[in-house]
Chains A and B, each alone.
Chain A
Amino acid sequence: MTTAVGADTARKPATMAQALGRALRDAMAADPSVHVLGEDVGTLGGVFRVTDGLAEEFGEDRCTDTPLAEAGILGTAVGMAMYGLRPVVEMQFDAFAYPSFEQLVSHVARMRNRTRGAMPMPITVRVPYGGGIGGVEHHSDSSEIYYMATPGLHVVAPATVADAYGLLRAAIASDDPVIFLEPKRLYWSKADWSADAPERVPPIGRAVVRGPGTGGRRAATLISYGPSVPVCLEAAEAARGEGWDLEVVDLRSLVPFDDETVCASVRRTGRAVVVHEAAGFGGPGGEIAARVTERCFHHLEAPVLRVAGFDIPYPPPMLERHHLPGVDRVLDAVARLQWESEWTEGSAAR
């Protein structure tokens, strides 16, 4: 089910950052209980300008520059939610959200459960995440596994401009806390919207197949989300020349996880590669590979492979291109999917 939220065709956001800003604006206009708070979100409009103009339009009480304190930002958001507001919190960068983890894990994620449903936490935590923008240390982490491992949180990551708008509206409307991961390096990616289409709000928890199969000789599913989706699409394009028919599943939501869409695709193709930037060991790919294996074992022609960041602290910017999974690594993995013919015991022991 996808809902249209108005057909204002006046000016479509051109970039993901603008689409996010537009989603905040529309949500604030539609619901006076929506409040934006964070560091530099007011006068400056956020370091990525996502909140640009909100303080001007809605006043500083609705879009608030807070003191520089992530636990304080999220902790006060808990109290605001207790009193019926819908706080949308901005963490300035992925690695700077860590001071707020105690509030997140001990209260935001559990308050509904603790109070037997009496105290929901309709908080959206926006986290600019991931690398590829040449940031110095602490500006490029992919922290999704910490959030995924915390029951009570929803975790979403858009890959397209339209999804950025739609998913953020859905996150703000959700009665549960949502960790909204904004792929930094897609902030300036351009719109894929047609000018007169109404914005769509996809429900949280639904994956989508992008670039569905085109009938090549060998098929596989690339499972991805956020900044790795464009990488997978590019790889799918490149692999077509090699006779591969790659279906790209954009998860959009890590929690809840859409087993149905993922498994439907894997059952069709018989092969799967999970692609993400976060470190591979103990990373999201392990969970996804296990789920796929448990559900699609008899359909699989090869083990589910993972293409992930190395198991290292995020590298300095001049080296990050060696760390981030790119098209070549995805294609290498795809080549390794020819299990029965090429992956003999000898090559496995290599």
Chain B
Amino acid sequence: MTVLEQPGAYRPTPPPGWQPRVDAAPLLPDTEPYRVLGTAAAADVSPDLLTRLHRELVRGRRYNAQATALTRQGRLAVYPSSTGQEACQVAAGLVLEDRDWLFPSYRDTLAAVVRGLDPVDALTLLRGDWHSGYDPHAHRVAPLCTPLATQLPHAVGLAHAARLKGDDVVALALVGDGGTSEGDFHEALNFAAVWHAPVVFLVQNNGFAISVPLAKQTAAPSLAHKAVGYGMPGRLVDGNDAAAVHQVLAEAVHRARGGGGPTLVEAVTYRIDAHTNADDATRYRPDSEVEAWRAHDPITLLEDALRDRSLLDDEGVRAARESAERFAADLRTRMHQDPVLDPMELFEHVYAVRTGQLREQAAQLRAELDAEAGEAGKGER
């Protein structure tokens, strides 16, 4: 019963000309996450793609382990691991063309590395020598974004600007399940839909925002359902199925590039490690839950599918692991070198032209550094 149908309600003529703007049904996500691996659809995926995904997953898992180890050795201030979520990371890193842009959050270093970023440069933020260790234009990867969901409107603005310039550039923006509660998530999706911007939003639903489970984050049927309210399609996908994530993202990217507008993709996955090395995950989730998800591991899922199609044998697995080991060894060596920092750079990138205030302050620091060097020199003599 609507308000107008209540007994005694004054009922004027119906509102003139109102009707829903679009048919909501085609926008609604399936309630089951989409899967490829382990289904008949796996047979249709190109062997090259499957093999590539596998190599990247194995390397990505090793990368996560190495970066986590580096925090224990004091080489990284913090590392938010994506162990368990590698399928999302790898698919996001591989699905774009060179001219497209990736907008990662703080957890998405792996996606940036898969896209081609030097792993040491990708870790600079977390090591603490500079806020971003790379030129975003070099690989079209925006700086890893720490305030939740704020990178999403950036992705929309960039994609919109590219379209205004006549470039068929797509932006792929990553966000966590917790980030979907932020106002910027809403504003970004709304702008994207209204402007018909070529953006794909990928929510990695890994179950928790630090300690808060999804049930305390949202009452929506799924995060993908949120898309409908903005007027864009929502897709729900198994986030541990690399082939499925890649396919769903590829379709969304294709759609965006062709002028079809934005898509919201929710990948259902799980964060196997703690939030960061500083977090104690046993306080908010049982081991049994973690174990259940380990049994649905993205690498195992893919290896089984590859073996099914005789695209992989023990030798192939060994080769992939050895290559990942070499990658990790190289990362370790390079991360154990102390970064060379120039404190005077503090004043270099605040404004295009240094202000009077900053000139004075730079002179002060210069003098302090010179005095320090002088002291040190005396000690040596």
- Do they bind each other? yes
Are A116 and B190 closer than 8 Å at their CB atoms? no
Of the stretches B17-25, B55-63, B148-156, the one at the interface is B148-156
Are A69 and B187 closer than 8 Å at their CB atoms? yes
Residues 39-69 of B, flagged 1 when their CB comes within 8 A of A and 0 if not, give 0000000000000000000000000000000
Given contacts A80-B158, A80-B160, contact A112 B153 (CB under 8 A): no
Residues of B within 8 A of A78 (CB): 153-154, 157
Are B352 and A80 closer than 8 Å at their CB atoms? no
Residues of A within 8 A of B130 (CB): 116
A116 to B356, CA, bound (A): 20
Are B357 and A76 closer than 8 Å at their CB atoms? no
Of the stretches B70-78, B134-142, B263-271, the one at the interface is B134-142
A130 to B136, CA, bound (A): 38
State which residues 121-147 of B face A: CB under 8 Å.
130-132, 135-137, 142-143, 147
Residues of B within 8 A of A27 (CB): none
Are A84 and B161 closer than 8 Å at their CB atoms? yes
Q: Is A103 an interface residue (CB 8 A)?
A: yes
Of the stretches A192-200, A251-259, A265-273, A339-347, the one at the interface is A251-259
Are A72 and B187 closer than 8 Å at their CB atoms? yes
Given contacts A83-B158, A102-B147, A152-B350, contact A75 B357 (CB under 8 A): no
Residues of B within 8 A of A72 (CB): 153, 156, 184, 187-188, 190-191
A106 to B194, CA, bound (A): 25
A231 to B152, CA, bound (A): 44
Residue of B nearest to A117 (CB): B349
State which residues 140-177 of A face B: CB under 8 Å.
151-152, 154, 174-176
Q: Is A113 an interface residue (CB 8 A)?
A: yes
Q: Is A138 an interface residue (CB 8 A)?
A: no
Given contacts A106-B150, A119-B136, A257-B356, contact A71 B351 (CB under 8 A): no
Contact of B153 (CB < 8 Å), options: A103, A110, A117, A256: A103
Q: Is B28 an interface residue (CB 8 A)?
A: no
Residues of B within 8 A of A113 (CB): 131, 349-350
Contact of A76 (CB < 8 Å), options: B142, B160, B352, B356: B160
B357 to A: closest C-beta gap in Å: 7
Q: Is B259 an interface residue (CB 8 A)?
A: no
B34 to A: closest C-beta gap in Å: 29
Residue of B nearest to A109 (CB): B350
Residues of A within 8 A of B154 (CB): 75-76, 78-79, 82, 107
Given contacts A114-B143, A118-B135, contact A257 B349 (CB under 8 A): no
Contact of B162 (CB < 8 Å), options: A77, A81, A83, A152: A83
Residue of A nearest to B137 (CB): A118
Given contacts A80-B157, A80-B158, A110-B131, contact A75 B188 (CB under 8 A): yes
B220 to A: closest C-beta gap in Å: 20
A103 to B142, CA, bound (A): 15
Residues of B within 8 A of A77 (CB): 157
A255 to B345, CA, bound (A): 21
Q: Is A205 an interface residue (CB 8 A)?
A: yes
Among A82, A110, A113, the most chain B Cβ lie within 10 Å of the Cβ of A82
Residue of B nearest to A66 (CB): B191
B219 to A: closest C-beta gap in Å: 22
Residues of B within 8 A of A74 (CB): 153
Are B356 and A83 closer than 8 Å at their CB atoms? no
A116 to B159, CA, bound (A): 23
State which residues 40-95 of A face B: CB under 8 Å.
61, 66-67, 69, 71-72, 74-85, 87
Given contacts A75-B153, A79-B153, contact A106 B356 (CB under 8 A): no
Contact of A83 (CB < 8 Å), options: B153, B161, B186, B352: B161
Residues of B within 8 A of A259 (CB): 356
Are B150 and A118 closer than 8 Å at their CB atoms? no
Interchain residue pairs A-B with the least CB separation, the first 10: A79-B157, A75-B153, A72-B187, A76-B157, A79-B158, A83-B161, A256-B355, A79-B154, A114-B131, A80-B161
Q: Chain A: residues with CB nearer than 8 A to chain B?
A: 35, 61, 66-67, 69, 71-72, 74-85, 87, 99, 102-103, 106-107, 110-120, 151-152, 154, 174-176, 205, 255-260
Beyond the given A79-B171, A82-B157, could you list 8 further A-B residue pairs with CB under 8 A, ordered by the A residue number? A67-B194, A72-B188, A75-B157, A79-B153, A115-B143, A117-B349, A119-B137, A151-B350
Q: List 17 A-B contacts (CB under 8 A).
A: A67-B191, A67-B194, A71-B184, A72-B187, A75-B150, A76-B157, A79-B157, A79-B161, A80-B160, A80-B161, A83-B157, A84-B161, A103-B184, A114-B143, A118-B136, A174-B352, A255-B355
